[in-house]
Amino acid sequence: MRVLVTGGLGFVGWVVAARLAERGDEVVALTRGPLPAATAPPAGVEVAAADLRDLDALRQVVAGGGFDGACHLGGLARVRDSHADPAAYTEVNTGGTANLLRAVAEAPGPPPRLVLASTAAVLGGAGDGDGPPGPLAEDHPALPASPYGASKLAAERAVAAAAEAGAVGAVTLRAFSVAGAYRGHGDADRSRILPKALAVAAGDAPYVELNGDGSAVRELTHVADLADAFALALDAARPGTHRLYHAGTGDGVTMLDLLAAVERITGRPVPTVRRPPAPEARSVVANPARIRAELGWRPARSSLDRIVGDAWAAVSG
C-alpha cells in the first residue's frame, strides 16, 4: 500500500510512518515546510512538503502521489494554546482536514482509505473543566471544553460525512495520552509531563509543576502501540464506511505515580512544585473494548515502566 502520513515528522507521525514502512508499505511523510536539519525521516520513508492550509499545494502532492490511503496526524495539539488562538486551531485542524478530504477525493483512482488522528479532548475536560469520568467508550457524549477539542470534533464529523458520501473509507482513532519512544525518537514537547520530568531528571530543567496534589488520573499509551493501531485501522478502512475507536489501554495512573516511576527508572530525583489546583478532569481513561474486539489491537508495550524506560533511553542515549 502507498500511504501519505500527514504530520509524518512529528512525535506520533514519525513512528506511524516508521511502522508502516517496516511492514512493507510505501510511505510519504508530509511536512508543512523544508525538512528541519535536526529531523530525519524514518528509513525508507519519502518526504513531501505542503501546508494543510494550502489546498493547491496539497492537491499537487496528493494528485501525483498515487496513494492508496492516508494517515492524517498533521495539526495543532495543545489545549492551553488553543484558548489563546482558537482561530488557528480551527484553520489548521478543521480546515486542514477539509482540504485533505477535498484533495484525496479529487485524486484519480478508487476512494482511498483514511485514518484520522483525533483526541480524548473532544469529550471535554481533557485539559480544563471537571470533565467526564472514565472509562470512556465511543458513545460518550462529545462536549469539548477547549477550541482544540472543538476543532478535532469538527474534523471527525467532516471525515464521517466524506465516508458517508463514498469519498473515502475512514477510521477515526481517538488517542488519550501518548508517550514513550521508538527507535530513539521520543517526545520533545515539555508542555507534557513525561518529557518535562525526564528533562528534570537529565538536569535540563529545575522542576516539574503539578496541578494541585498530583492525584489526577491519566492513561499512557506507548507511541509504537498507537502506531500499530493506525496500521490496523488503515487495513480495516472500507469505502463508504466510518468507524470510531478509542485507542487507549484502559489503565490509569496518577501524576504522582508517573513521577515516582521516572525517579525509579532514571535513578535521579525529580523535584516538583505544586501549583494551586486549576480545574481539570479527575480521570481520563479509555474503554478500549471496541478496538480490541473489531481490530484485535493489543497495546503490548504500554506498561508504565516500558513507556518511561523507552522515553528515558531516547533522552539519555
DSSP string across 165-206: TTS-EEEEEEE-EEE-EETTEE---TTSHHHHHHHHHTTSSS
Catalytic residue among 89, 148, 182, 245: 148
pLDDT bin (cut points 50, 70, 90) of residue 282 is confident
pLDDT value for 130: 47
To the query of whether residue 148 is one of the catalytic residues in this protein, the response is yes
For CATH 3.40.50.720, list the domain ranges present in the chain: 2-179+221-249
Rg for the chain, CA atoms, rounded: 19
Phi, psi (degrees; rounded to nearest 5) at 110:
-70, 165
Grid coordinates representing 216 are 489526577
Query: Beta strand pairing status for 185-186 and 181-182?
Result: antiparallel
**CATH level 3 topology of 181-217+251-284+309-316:** UDP-galactose 4-epimerase; domain 1 (3.90.25)
Give the highest mean pLDDT range of 79-83, 127-131, 229-233.
229-233
Report how far residue 94's alpha carbon sits from residue 75's, in angstroms, rounded to the nearest whole number. Answer: 9
Beta bridge partners of 21: none
CATH C-level class of 2-179+221-249: alpha beta
For CATH 3.90.25.10, list the domain ranges present in the chain: 181-217+251-284+309-316
Q: Are 214 and 272 in contact, with CB atoms under 8 Å apart?
A: yes
Exposure of 267 by Cβ count < 10 A (0-12 exposed, 13-18 middle, 19+ buried)? exposed
Exposure of 246 by Cβ count < 10 A (0-12 exposed, 13-18 middle, 19+ buried)? buried
The stretch 46-72 carries a mean pLDDT of 96
**100-149 pLDDT, tens digit each:** 999 999 998 899 999 999 999 999 854 334 444 569 999 999 999 999 99
Q: Are 59 and 37 in contact, with CB atoms under 8 Å apart?
A: no
